[in-house]
Chains A and B, each alone.
Chain A
Amino acid sequence: KNEVEQSPQNLTAQEGEFITINCSYSVGISALHWLQQHPGGGIVSLFMLSSGKKKHGRLIATINIQEKHSSLHITASHPRDSAVYICAVRYSGAGSYQLTFGKGTKLSVIP
């Protein structure tokens, strides 16, 4: 069964700390997404990547295709970063419309 595993499940950090959230998957993919779910429930797309690294502000996403692993880093964390971060992958193959989602990592940043 193709699964997406995230670690840790829960993470508490002090404001200013460097945060890393990990995502691993089992077979070849065509793309990996990182999403943020706010405490109010809304979901926004942060990154979509198929190789290398992307950066947006204090957020950095990397992917290692050979190791089937991706990381989401947050530099200089802030309480407003508190949210659930979700990894999702699109597995390779014709007609692969579906995203397979991880269960999410709940991040709490304490002032």
Chain B
Amino acid sequence: NAGVTQTPKFRILKIGQSMTLQCAQDMNHNYMYWYRQDPGMGLKLIYYSVGAGITDKGEVPNGYNVSRSTTEDFPLRLELAAPSQTSVYFCASSRDRVDEQFFGPGTRLTVL
């Protein structure tokens, strides 16, 4: 099992550009999450999903969108990149709401 995979590992964007961060898991987990990690700060939840077709906002959703068309995939879309979105992004999944979460390797995004 690959677990949780994320692509790309690194990306530099210009202000106003768009991109999609990919996340996939092969553990048949219902719950998936997107977090951002800023230097010196705790992880913050951007969006989460409790199953295919169901998504909801987390603590810091502004500037992002998600979709969940399959159990395996949970892409995160940045429509108009801003310098404030420079961060490391982690995708995670869990079997259920109260279970441990499995994290992907992260995507380091810089917006210039």
Q: Cβ of B98 and Cβ of A31 under 8 Å apart?
A: yes
The binding surface of chain A is classed by DSSP as: strand
Question: Could you tell me if B101 and A41 are in contact, using CB atoms closer than 8 angstroms?
Answer: no
Pick the residue among A41, A42, A45, A102 that contacts B42 (CB under 8 A): A102
Chain B binder among A57-65, A70-78, A93-101: A93-101
Residue B40, interface by CB 8 Å: yes
Residue in A30, A96, A103 whose CB lies within 8 Å of B40: A103
The answer on a CB contact under 8 Å between A97 and B105 is: no
If A41-B88, A42-B106 touch, whether A101 touches B43 (CB-CB below 8 Å) is yes
Q: What is the CA–CA distance of A100 and B59 in the complex, to the nearest angstrom?
A: 10
The number of residues on chain A lying at the interface, defined by a beta carbon within 8 Å of a beta carbon of chain B, is: 23
In the complex, the chain A residue whose C-beta lies closest to that of B43 is: A101
In contact, A41 and B105 (Cβ under 8 angstroms): yes
Q: Are A4 and B42 CB-contacts (below 8 A) given A41-B106, A97-B50?
A: yes
Q: Which of A30, A42, A98 contacts B45 (CB under 8 A)?
A: A98
User: Could you list 7 further interchain pairs (A-B, Cβ under 8 angstroms) beyond the known A43-B92, A97-B97?
Assistant: A44-B103, A45-B102, A97-B31, A97-B50, A103-B40, A103-B41, A104-B42
Q: Which residues of B contact A (CB under 8 A)?
A: 31, 40-45, 48, 50, 56, 58-59, 88, 90, 92, 97-103, 105-106, 108
